[in-house]
């Protein structure tokens, strides 16, 4: 089993976390394989995916050490515990649910808490969150992250929403530790068509952008 610090290291290198809102439980394994083939090893299976816990269990068993399988949209401690028991290696919440920290750290798993404002982001950090998920980042952009980190440079920020191939480099240059990438990577069209080669191609493109940026 990887330690928490080892998982964190893999999350920030190359720094692309695929946010998966699958339509069916059985889509998760093939899409995970496609992402890993493209170099995106961190895969966040959201709890909005049907039978998400079982999907996490099956996918982690299949991919082993080749990928990191995490859980997203976690709103309570019970869900975090169930996902970790199923093999989830990191836990993500879209909200500032501080009680998740103790549960995750007891299991040697990093946790990412949601925030929107500077105050919420700092509170997440003080609560012990390993990362702060700025969500939704669609209307904020890289300039917001840069402004946020000016007085709070200690924050390890992962924006989700508004991250695509055109904005990824700017977010990383603004000082983000990693990027949560949803529909611009794992699109509804790709899921509907089961177009896994296209998903691999997009994954490679995102990894290429992340690898080309000199991080602060």
Which residues belong to the active site?
Answer: 44, 133
The residues near 69 (Cβ < 8 Å, ≥ 6 apart) are 32, 43, 45, 56, 59, 60, 63, 87, 88, 89
Tokens of 191: 């899921």
Nearest-angstrom CA–CA distance, 51 and 119: 34
Edge-to-edge order in the sheet of strand 111-115: 157-159, 131-134, 111-115, 91-92, 68-72, 42-46, 16-20, 179-181
Cα dihedral: 166, 168, 173, 174 (round 10) = 100
Which is nearest to 172 in space by CA: 6, 14, 41? 14
């Amino acid at each position: 089993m990887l330690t928490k610090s080892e998982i964190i290291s893999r999350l920030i290198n190359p720094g692309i976390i695929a946010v998966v809102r699958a339509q069916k439980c059985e889509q998760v394994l093939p899409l995970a394989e496609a992402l890993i083939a493209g170099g995106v090893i961190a895969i966040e299976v959201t709890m909005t995916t049907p039978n998400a816990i079982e999907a996490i269990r099956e996918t982690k068993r299949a991919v082993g050490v080749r990928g990191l399988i995490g859980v997203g949209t976690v709103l309570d401690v019970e869900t975090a515990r169930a996902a970790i028991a199923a093999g989830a290696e990191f836990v993500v919440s879209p909200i500032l649910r501080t009680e998740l920290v103790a549960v995750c750290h007891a299991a040697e798993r990093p946790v990412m808490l949601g925030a929107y404002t500077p105050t919420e982001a700092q509170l997440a950090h003080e609560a012990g969150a390993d990362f702060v998920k700025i969500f939704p980042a669609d209307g904020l952009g890289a300039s917001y992250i840069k402004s946020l980190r000016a007085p709070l440079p200690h924050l390890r920020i992962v924006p989700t929403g508004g991250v695509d191939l055109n904005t990824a480099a700017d977010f990383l240059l603004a000082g983000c530790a990693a990027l949560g990438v949803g529909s611009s990577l794992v699109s509804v069209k790709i899921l509907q068509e089961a177009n896994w080669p296209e998903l691999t191609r997009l994954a490679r493109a995102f990894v290429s952008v992340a690898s080309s940026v000199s991080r602060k």
